[in-house]
Structure 1
Amino acid sequence: GHAADESLIQAIRSAADKPGSPWSKLLASPDIMDSGLYKYAIELAATARLRTDENVRVARFWKHLAKSDTKNANVVTPSPSTLNVIDTELQKGERDTVLDDLL
């Protein structure tokens, strides 16, 4: 009955707690935080976020420089003319959400 089932489950759990036991490999949950792939994904996402933020700051600087003085009217900026239309704060919020989901 139930006592035999519970005894069997308890025996498997205690065998799974022993290091080196085949049961420990079968029942052990993977530690995602120790996974090199997980750490690499977090590092990659964080690096991408930093680079994107830096590129936005550089684009804003050059755009401001070009607009601040008429002698700079012909300065070629690294940003497209549609930069004003892009909602960078929304994009940054979306990036934050994705990274937070990974964490």
Structure 2
Amino acid sequence: LPQSPPPPQSSQSSLPHLPQPMPQASQPPPPPPPPPLQASQSPLPPQFPPPLPQSPPPPPLQESQPPPPPPPPPPSPQASQPSPPPPPPQVSQSPQPPPPLQASQS
């Protein structure tokens, strides 16, 4: 009987227990940091409210922006369509007629 108790103690040996408590001791310090994080979170909430008042101004800006973009697109396609067709015919016709006329005159 007396021998049986010592083996468990020897197997557990204070050494293995020590390593375990050591990590545990190192773990407790980390928990304290979490509370500071929460404290830091508390200031963050107050910061969010200020941005909220700022948010209202942006919407109006966005509303003013959408109207301008729509008008430009329509004019641009229309202007681009009429402009290209006229120049090519004029350019192609202008060079062609002069040479034959000059040749006939000569």
Same fold (TM over 0.5): no
Under a length normalisation based on structure 2, what TM-score does the superposition of the two structures give?
Answer: 0.36
Higher relative contact order (CA 8 A, sep 6+): 1
Under a length normalisation based on structure 1, what TM-score does the superposition of the two structures give?
Answer: 0.37
Kindly indicate which of the two structures has a greater share of residues assigned to helix.
1
Larger radius of gyration: 2
